[in-house]
Each structure stands twice: as C-alpha cells, then as structure tokens.
Amino acid sequence: MASFERRSRPTANQAPAEPDDYDLDFRPQVAAKLGIVVVNRDEFEEVEACLACLAPQLELNDARVVVVDVSAEPTSADRVAALLEMDASRDAPPTDAWKSRASLIRARPCRNNSAGLAVALEFLRAENYLFLHASARLRAGAVSALLDAANEVGVAAAAPLIAGGPDAGLAVARFGDWPLDFWTEFQAAVGRPFPMTPPDADFARRATLDCLVVRGDALEAIGGFDSMLGEPFAGADLVRRLRRSGKRVAYAPTAHVEFADDIAAMASPRDAKEAPAFFADRARFYRKSGPRALAIANLAWRLGRAIARVKNMAGLNDRHTHHKAMDRARGGALRGRRKR
C-alpha cells in the first residue's frame, strides 16, 4: 500500500498544492482500466463499508482504489491506512487480496480539497475514473454498468439512477447548497426534464453527484481538478464543465447505488424536513419569473457568496464577534419591548 502525505502545509488562503508536494514514488507502472477515488471526510466505518462493497468488483474491472482522506479527525487517516495495510502482508487471506491495489492520500482538510484529487489522478493515470463519497454503497454489477454507460460513443461520464426509475428521482447523491442552474444544466446535459416539484423528501436529499464515472480523456480535456473549488468532489461543477466543453453525461439505469442513511441527509444548512418546501419555492419562482430572472437570482447568490468569501479571507467575518453583536441587538430589542 502506498501512502502519501504533504511535505508542506500551506495556510487556508494559499493556493492548492501541486502534485510535486506529494511523494509519488509508488506510482503503478501500468495504467489500470478503472481508477476509483473514494473521498473520506467523515468516518472510518463509512470508508470500510464502501470498500467492502467495491471489493468483489475490483478484479473483474481491473480497478485500483485511492482513498483521499480530507477528514479533520486526526486518527481517521491512520485507521484507513491500517485497514489497507492488512493486505500488504504476505499472510493476507485471498479474500483481501484487492487491498494490495489500494492506496491512501492524506490531504489537508480545508475549503479547497482539489489538490488531493489532482494527486489521485496523477497517481492512478487510469482510462476511466469513478469518484465516490465514502457513504456510497455500490451493489453487484454497478461498476460494470457505469463503465459501459460511460464508454458509449459520444459520452464522457455516467451517473446512476435512484431505485424506481426517473420518475422517483434523478442522479443519486446529495444536493448540497448549490444554485439551481447547476442542476438544470445537468438535466439539459443528460436530456432529462427538470421536475418543477420534487417527488418526495428523498429526492431533495439525493439530487446531485457523489457517484460518477468520468472518462480519463474527457477529464484531461477540461483540465482535471486544478480549478475546482468547494466540496472535495463538486460533481455538479464537474458536469457543468464537461457540458461546456461539448461532452455528454449519460445515465446507467442498471447501476444500483445506495447511500448510508446517516450521511445521505442534505449537505445544506436547511433541515431535511424543509427540503421539499425549499425546492418547491424555487420551482414556483422559476415558473413565475422565467429562466432569465432565475439566472439573475443565481448571479446575485454567487456574488453574495464571493463577497462573504473575501470577507472571510480578510478576517472580517469573525463568528464570535458577529454572534456577540447579534446577542446585543437581540437583547436591546427585548429591552425596548419591555419598556413599552
């Protein structure tokens, strides 16, 4: 098992690390047909369960695995390394032989974790890449189905469907706090209409891309992960860039992928119970005001996020000071009411 750790740790405001900042002495000599990148930002148990589902499908698809650990928990990466080292010994049982094809990359937990993914691609150099969140559970045949869909003529990437068909939901994963145009552009890329009202709360929780197969040549054509910001794997941004470069994303209806219940909740500040109402409000706004007004609203949203990011980098968004000011304002309002 190869394990890479950063030699120098830049501050949060510095640019992401270059591949030269990692030790790549253990790079495989022969490129694999499939390189699987598992992002670990939560719990070791999730990575273990994810790898257990992948194990029977690795040898069949000539696959290699790289676990990119971006967890803030100091012992998380060590536990993953211990799990993978079990196969490095000569006494490893035959059922765990796949772990000799697995590696670990320790990435610094920060807002921009694209560096760890860039190193994973540099290490694997595969024909296809499968990006997974640690909470994903790929059932038997899912990897082969995704590969077949991604390697069709004119297709650059493939995503699975929620069980129950396209009427029950679209791409499997969590939506996150992205603008609506990311999702609508993805629907346009794959040729599916955007549902104006979400079918159920499960759709609202699982409506983005934490499970995606991308062809290696298509990923190189858009520059890889060098300019991707935000989440460790921002699937919506990746699909958006693929579509802008003229690539097409397809569905794999026979790929059965599930997500752990404790991690499949919305990666959004809103509570999961409010998710259907949130999407319904956006759908009503879209129908009432049209796509141009929605684009303007999304532009304003991005501008606000950019201003908040700049203020945060400048140290102007001190949460402690902000909460103290809010408490003072709230207390003054209450005192004013009591005086009346």
- The 10s digit of each residue's pLDDT in 264-319 is 333 333 344 444 444 455 555 555 666 666 667 667 777 877 787 777 677 665 55
Q: What are phi and psi of 100, to 5 degrees?
A: -70, -15
Model confidence at 200, pLDDT cuts 50, 70, 90, reads very low
- Which CATH superfamily groups domain 2-269? Spore Coat Polysaccharide Biosynthesis Protein SpsA; Chain A (3.90.550.10)
Contact 242, 157 (CB under 8 A): yes
Q: Which long-range contacts (CB under 8 A, 24 or more apart) does 240-245 make?
A: 240/182, 240/185, 240/186, 242/156, 242/157, 242/189, 242/214, 242/218, 243/185, 243/186, 243/188, 243/189, 245/218, 245/221
DSSP sequence for 63-100:
EEEEEEE--S-TTHHHHHHHHHHTTTSTT--GGGGGGG
pTM over 0.85: no
Q: How far apart are CA 173 and CA 160, in angstroms?
A: 9
DSSP sequence for 135-202:
TEEE-TTHHHHHHHHHTSTT--EEEEB-TT-TTT-SBSS---S--HHHHHHHHHHHT-PPPSS-SSHH
The pLDDT assigned to 175 comes to: 37
- The 10s digit of each residue's pLDDT in 138-178 is 788 888 888 888 888 888 888 775 443 333 333 333 333 33
Kindly state the percentage of the chain with pLDDT values over 90: 0
The pLDDT assigned to 285 comes to: 59
Q: Is the pLDDT of residue 39 over 50?
A: yes
Model confidence at 30, pLDDT cuts 50, 70, 90, reads low
- The 10s digit of each residue's pLDDT in 48-60 is 778 878 877 777 7
Q: Is the pLDDT of residue 218 over 80?
A: yes
CA 335 to chain centre: 46
Q: For residue 223, give both structure tokens.
A: 């520059």
When mean pLDDT is compared across 6-15, 150-159, 221-230, 235-244, the lowest value belongs to: 6-15
